[in-house]
């Protein structure tokens, strides 16, 4: 009788645990979906600072350079994002309908449904950004030629945080190896667990290095997804290299590079200029951290006569302008 009671107790607890786990994964989605009903949102400090930095950089000339040679849909996308950013930089209380389009509203609802249906999709990360990377996996198929271009070739994931985007790439492309850079020890250990849990030890190569303009012993500050290299006080000491040096040392051919390094994306082009010129990999570059990244990365690549085509993707339907990717192909 006691055994039966214990089994019933365990069964009941496990069912409730799974239920609450689902609620936990969808908490961010539910929280933001309430904004639709309320109609207003308060601007937080991070959004304000990034919006004001981008608008401080804005000039009509910069705007025209950014739009030059883009397809009509991408020009419209840039205009829409800048209108949002301007609204955010000038107002403390933000009307929901001015921040999110109908398409983004539908994506928010779809994401909440996605999390409820697949609470353990690929891995059990709680971070909403990591979950969104899986949700938007399908958008990689929108990149022209990407599926064939990357086939059986190497990918550089800089930085890979806790392995989320590397996992997305592994589920999307046929590739040789994914070399992933993450200097933060805690993130690095969590990312290694992602590799192990998904049986990808022979395909994803973790590299515990930071990336910068030269090889040196540096420092990293911040926490979680927001860690970045600093010169002064920092969280821990790290080793740093450049993309060009790493590619030369390992003698690899690179056909896709992802960059999300917390506001150092512009400089990262210079750290990989030789690789970009010689191999012309597809580039996925986050441009929403700073005004310099937003307005100057595309003109920088154009000035080097590498002859990329450009498009834009946005991988976060819950933030007005975060996770904007410049795609160079």
Half-sphere exposure of 324 (CA within 13 A, CB side): 27
What does pLDDT average to in each consecutive run of 10 residues of the chain (329 residues)? Answer: 50 50 51 50 78 94 94 96 93 80 86 72 56 76 79 84 79 88 84 84 88 71 56 66 92 89 78 92 92 95 90 89 92
Give the pLDDT score at 123: 46
* Region of 305 on the Ramachandran plot (φ > 0 left; ψ -120 to 50 alpha; else beta): left
3-class secondary-structure state, position 266: helix
Give the pLDDT score at 77: 96
Give the pLDDT score at 47: 85
**Long-range Cβ pairs for the range 322-326 (8 Å, 24+):** 322/288, 323/129, 323/132, 323/286, 323/288, 324/81, 324/286, 324/287, 324/288, 324/294, 325/284, 325/285, 325/286, 325/287, 326/283, 326/284, 326/285, 326/286, 326/287, 326/297, 326/298
Q: Give the residue from 169, 193, 189 showing the smallest Cα distance to 179.
A: 169
Side by side, the strands of the sheet bearing 236-241 are 210-211, 236-241, 216-221, 228-230
Give the pLDDT score at 149: 77
Contact 159, 185 (CB under 8 A): no
- Specify the CATH superfamily of domain 123-328: Vaccinia Virus protein VP39 (3.40.50.150)
The structure's pTM equals 0.81
């Amino acid at each position: 009788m006691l055994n039966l009671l214990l089994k019933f107790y365990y069964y009941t607890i496990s069912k409730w645990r799974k239920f609450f786990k689902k609620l936990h994964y969808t908490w961010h989605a539910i929280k933001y979906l309430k904004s639709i009903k309320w109609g207003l949102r308060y601007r937080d400090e991070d959004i304000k600072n990034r919006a004001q930095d981008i608008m401080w950089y804005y000039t009509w000339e910069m705007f025209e350079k950014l739009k030059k040679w883009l397809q009509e849909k991408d020009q419209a996308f840039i205009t829409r994002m800048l209108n949002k950013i301007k609204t955010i930089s000038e107002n403390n209380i933000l009307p929901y309908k001015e921040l999110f389009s109908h398409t983004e509203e539908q994506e928010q609802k779809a994401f909440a449904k996605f999390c409820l249906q697949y609470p353990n999709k690929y891995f059990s990360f709680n971070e909403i950004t990591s979950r969104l990377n899986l949700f938007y996996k399908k958008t990689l198929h929108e990149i022209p030629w990407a599926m064939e271009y990357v086939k059986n070739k190497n990918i550089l994931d800089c930085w890979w945080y806790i392995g989320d985007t590397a996992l997305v790439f592994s589920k999307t492309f046929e590739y040789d190896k994914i070399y992933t850079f993450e200097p933060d020890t805690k993130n690095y250990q969590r990312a290694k667990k992602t590799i192990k849990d998904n049986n990808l030890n022979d395909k994803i190569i973790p590299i515990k290095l930071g990336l910068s303009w030269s090889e040196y012993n540096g420092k990293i500050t911040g926490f979680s997804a927001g860690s970045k290299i600093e010169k002064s006080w920092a969280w821990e000491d790290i080793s740093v290299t450049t993309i060009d040096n790493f590619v030369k040392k390992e003698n690899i051919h690179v056909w896709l590079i992802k960059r999300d390094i917390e506001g150092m994306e512009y400089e990262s082009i210079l750290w990989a200029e030789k690789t970009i010129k010689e191999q012309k990999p597809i580039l996925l570059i986050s441009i929403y951290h700073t005004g310099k990244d937003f307005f100057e990365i595309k003109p920088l690549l154009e000035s080097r006569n590498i002859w990329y085509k450009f498009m834009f993707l946005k991988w976060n339907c819950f933030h007005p302008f975060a996770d904007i990717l410049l795609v160079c192909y």
